[in-house]
Structure 1
Amino acid sequence: MFISSIGNSFVWPLTTIYMHDQLHESLTMSGIVLLFYSGANVVGSYISGLLFDRHNPHWLLLGGTVIATAVIAFLIFFNGWPIYAVLLTAIGFFNGWIITLINSYATKISQDGRYVFSMLYFASNLGMVIGTTIVGPLYQYANGNVGPLFSITTAFYLILSGIALFCFNDVVKEPGTRTAQQGSRASSPLPRANLWICWTFFISLCVIWTMYEQWSSNLSVFMTEQGISMTKYSLLWTINGVLVVVSQLVLSWLSRWYNNPYLLVYIGTLTIGLSFVLLLAAKSYGWYVLAMIVLTIGEATVIPTMPAIVNSLSPVAVKGKYQGILNAYSSLGKAIGPLFGGLVIGAFSYRFLFIVCAGAIFLVELVILLVVLLKRPQTKRY
């Protein structure tokens, strides 16, 4: 997950600036390309999750990493318009494919699910922080030439392919054959209470990521309009990365004495909503720092916990399917977030956007509370 995240972080942050400055395309076209990238990510996540339960996951992961490596290698030499957009969309598909398969493999680990998914989230964020920190200076040093950057990305994906080849070849199989598992899936459908909670989480993650994306897209413009430099805006994401690392260590330590994953979901969702309330009151840079701290606490609490709960509510035969759906809905939220924010800002204002974001997340919090309160007593754990 760490290597995948670094490689991925060398790809998507370049898109807007490269398309605008080097390919001379509009910002609107850049947004459309990123929308296709995220949409392909959704499709890749869903399909790989379904296939994980029915076929050999080792070959699925190895095939996905090898093809992704080949596509990125093509970008070293073919990065003009429109081939860049086509290949970037393909990368989006295979990134969703790879991440879902890694998460699905994680469901096979006989260890506390909360710990496993927290460490995956930790590794992913650490890779993203390192990747996004490095890619800017490298792009500037290469004078806008993306060929050398995709060469480095190809090297990361070659490492990822090696890991898939040698470290995932021993599939952790549950008792019984695949045929038996498929029969079990047909005869023992997911309990209705489990379905209620799982689908509540899927839709909630879509809403949360839609609102969260305002931080990484539209907020940069809002802050610069307030006279705050881009350097200070970038520093917020450094704070975010450091806090994610620290919070995961703290939560792992606390889980030894108290482990209620649903409580973590309640706390995390509430604090993400509160971060937008703080944006409404922001009068200086210190307020933005405080809002980012609150946002990160919520993010680090709720984002890794929902996959762990879904894992515990999913039978062995369909764990990959439900991890795929979860990743697909997360990717959908990331895809529509910038467009949603832009439409709201264009029609109303930034302040109205922050009110909508806070209200939507508080509504999600209420729905989660009600569904879990009513359905949790009837759930079955796997």
Structure 2
Amino acid sequence: MDTPVEDKKPVRRPPFFPKPKKLKAFYIYLEYLIGNAASAMTWPVTSLYLHNYLHQSFFVTGIVLMFGSIVSMVASWAAGLMFDHWRPYHSFLISLFLALFGSLMMFFFHDWPVYAIWLMLLNFGIGMFQTLINSYGSHIAAASPKKFFSNMAIILNIGTVIGTFFGTWIFDKLNIQGMMFLGIIFYLLMLVIAIIFFRIKIRPIAEIPKNKRELHLHYSHLLLAIGALTMMTYLTYQFWETVMSPHMVSLGMTIEQYGYLWTINGIVIIVFQNWVTKVT
């Protein structure tokens, strides 16, 4: 008589990267530092590359930069919806894949007008990343949000110093391909960090009962005034990213020297921001 064959339960193998129980602030800071360094590389040289290398007028250059900003705003809005109502972790990976793919395409195809198209894709990924990384920060910084986001502001400027220094130096030596290759390395590193450390469980707002949601959507006059002041400040600051670099180069400054100017500017911001924070 044949003996019955026992049903064997499938053996579940542990994932290659075990799911972390908690996301530490250190990894958000690290991801934000690398992300800002990667995005800051393109700030000083975009208008310079469009005008001096691709021979586009300042008007066309301004249109490209304007659409890049619009794309970033749309991406930020979409990323906020995805974080609240879909899957934060997968949304975060999508943002990094888009930025990585845009950098890859700009590495291989950087003539006019395809350069502008891939720049839009890169800006979309960066716009998503900025919102999502701050959303992750809001999730873990409930106890001390002031300290956490003060550190984030400092890290943003440190990333700007690193990105502008190395980005302009490499662009001066190896042109656009060298700069984008460094960007590809940065985004690959960010993907690895995200896959290993950002797979925490965050319940979308749609799954939380309305009576248990802690949402405060009252926009005070002070908050609106801060937003208006920030917008006006950035309107003046855009000279750095638009006409300043071609103008400086036309005065005899090398691209590498212009990058040092960005670096000095970032260091001044870091020092005075830290001082002002302590004073206030």
Q: Does 1:200 align with 2:225?
A: yes
Aligned with 2:68 (options 31, 34, 37): 37
- Looking at both structures, which has the greater relative contact order when contacts are Cα pairs under 8 Å and sequence separation is at least 6? 2
TM-aligned CA deviation for residue 30 of structure 1:
1.5
Q: Does 1:125 align with 2:157?
A: yes
1:148-297 correspondence runs (5 A) = 148-171=178-201, 178-182=206-210, 184=212, 190=216, 192=218, 194-214=219-239, 217=242, 237-250=262-275, 254=278
**2:208 partner SS:** helix
Q: What whole-Å deviation, never above 9, does each CA across 1:177-214 have from its counterpart, x for those lacking one?
A: 743355556xx87464x444433333332122113334
Relative distance call for 1:138 and 1:207 in structure 2 (3 A) is same
Relative distance call for 1:152 and 1:234 in structure 2 (3 A) is closer
Contact preservation (8 Å) 2:157, 2:266: yes
What amino acid is the match of 1:70? Answer: F
Same amino acid, percent of matched pairs: 27
TM-aligned CA deviation for residue 10 of structure 1:
2.3
**2:85 partner SS:** coil
**2:59 partner SS:** helix
Contact preservation (8 Å) 1:68, 1:157: yes
The equivalent residue for 2:114 is: 83
Q: Does 1:101 align with 2:129?
A: no
* Number of positions where the alignment pairs a residue of Structure 1 with one of Structure 2: 247
| Cα distance in 1 for residues equivalent to 2:185 and 2:257 | 32
Q: TM-score, normalised by structure 2?
A: 0.75
| Cα distance in 2 for residues equivalent to 1:154 and 1:60 | 19
Structure 2 unaligned spans of 5+ = 1-31
Relative distance call for 1:75 and 1:233 in structure 2 (3 A) is closer
Q: Which has the larger radius of gyration?
A: 2
The equivalent residue for 1:369 is: none
Contact preservation (8 Å) 1:119, 1:248: no
The equivalent residue for 1:319 is: none
The equivalent residue for 2:17 is: none
TM-aligned CA deviation for residue 22 of structure 1:
2.7
Contact preservation (8 Å) 2:34, 2:190: yes
Contact preservation (8 Å) 2:168, 2:259: no
What amino acid is the match of 1:140? Answer: D
Q: TM-score, normalised by structure 1?
A: 0.56
| Cα distance in 1 for residues equivalent to 2:259 and 2:119 | 24
Structure 1 unaligned spans of 5+ = 256-263, 265-382
TM-aligned CA deviation for residue 233 of structure 1:
7.3
TM-aligned CA deviation for residue 157 of structure 1:
0.5
Relative distance call for 1:32 and 1:119 in structure 2 (3 A) is same
Aligned with 2:55 (options 24, 42, 55): 24
Relative distance call for 1:208 and 1:238 in structure 2 (3 A) is same
TM-aligned CA deviation for residue 48 of structure 1:
1.0
Contact preservation (8 Å) 1:122, 1:245: yes
The equivalent residue for 2:170 is: 138
Q: What whole-Å deviation, never above 9, does each CA across 1:280-338 have from its counterpart, x for those lacking one?
A: xxxxxxxxxxxxxxxxxxxxxxxxxxxxxxxxxxxxxxxxxxxxxxxxxxxxxxxxxxx
Contact preservation (8 Å) 1:118, 1:248: no
| Cα distance in 1 for residues equivalent to 2:242 and 2:117 | 23
Contact preservation (8 Å) 1:65, 1:94: yes
Q: Cα RMSD between the aligned structures? A: 3.2
**Greater fraction helix:** 1
| Cα distance in 2 for residues equivalent to 1:224 and 1:69 | 29
Relative distance call for 1:128 and 1:118 in structure 2 (3 A) is same
| Cα distance in 2 for residues equivalent to 1:114 and 1:198 | 16
Q: What whole-Å deviation, never above 9, does each CA across 1:102-121 have from its counterpart, x for those lacking one?
A: 11111112342221112111
Q: What whole-Å deviation, never above 9, does each CA across 1:351-372 have from its counterpart, x for those lacking one?
A: xxxxxxxxxxxxxxxxxxxxxx
| Cα distance in 2 for residues equivalent to 1:73 and 1:222 | 29
Q: Does 1:115 align with 2:140?
A: no
